[in-house]
Amino acid sequence: MSIKIYLITNHATENKMYYVGQTINEINDRFTQHVRLGRRDNNCLVHEAILEYGKRNFTIEILEVVETQAEADIRETFYIKKLLSHYKDGYGYNMKYEMSDNKDRYYHGADINDVNKNKSMGNAWNKGIPFSDMSRKKMSETKKHRNAAGLYSNYGHKHTEETKKKLSDKAKNRPSPTDQTKNKWREQSSGRQFIHNLITKERKSVKDLLSLPEGWSRGRGTCWINDGMKSISIDVWDVEKYLHEGFNYGRIC
């Protein structure tokens, strides 16, 4: 299996910003994945940058091709450090290193089997894996720091009426998905279900689950409570807090 180590470059910033990754897919297909993910709120710096500056300001190129996952992890880390593309080094969007002795740390405590499955399929390592509250807090602090440094200066700009009309016309003329695409979506979603963990306060969507991992239960892990006037849906691990504040179980119709 050939694994490509690739480089994405943002040419719109005063100093070029980099992202180093790895994929088994065709390089242009991988870039398309990044662009698509940039339209979602998935807490990834390179995807936010593509959304902010536009895909035309980015290029992608192959740095090296290797044959094993272990070698890919080592070489990816080599280029991240060489190009200073880790966000803490100031010249890029990488949020982790791939070295095996740092996997637990930089995968934010995610199940390494889920991570390796995503990577083997050419997906982002965290596809379908929710971030922990601690990780979300760290990313929030990082965004604030980058915003203070002026890296998000393009946020908040407004489209002109002409641009709005072009976007509207493009959306109206966008062709409907083909039956093949619809069937692909159905196949991807079929057999998926939510499970949750009361101890770690996590939930995730899994496919073709044969048996529950230890400590996990089926379902989204939410429930309805009410204060006699309004109903809200909360995480099951927050129930006791709300009960102490006077809420009751159940939804008011």
pLDDT for position 153: 57
Q: For the chain, give the number of residues.
A: 253
Query: Model-level pTM?
Result: 0.43
Sorted by where each begins, the domain ranges of the chain are: 3-148, 192-249
Contact assessment for residue 64 and residue 108, using Cβ atoms and an 8 Å cutoff: no
Which of 200, 252, 193 is closest to 224 using CA atoms? 252
**pLDDT tens digit string along 65-120?**
999 888 888 899 899 999 999 888 888 999 876 554 444 445 666 777 887 777 66
pLDDT in tens, 32-46: 888 887 665 555 788
How far, in Å, CA of 125 to CA of 70, rounded? 15
- Reading phi first (left if > 0) and then psi (alpha if -120 to 50, else beta), residue 38 is in alpha
Q: What is the mean pLDDT of the chain?
A: 81
CATH number 3.40.1440.10 is the correct assignment for the domain at 3-148: yes
pLDDT for position 156 = 59
**Closest to 19 (Cα-Cα) out of 38, 40, 39:** 38
pLDDT at 225: 85
Give the pLDDT confidence score for residue 60 in this predicted structure.
94
Token pair in block for residue 238:
């927050």
Regions of the chain short of the pLDDT cut 70 = 1, 38-43, 97-109, 119-124, 145-147, 149-158, 252-253
Euclidean distance between CA atoms 218 and 91, whole angstroms: 42
Q: Which of 189, 237, 238, 198 is nearest to 218 (CA)?
A: 198
Quick one: pLDDT at residue 80?
92
Please report the pLDDT score of residue 65 as a whole number.
94
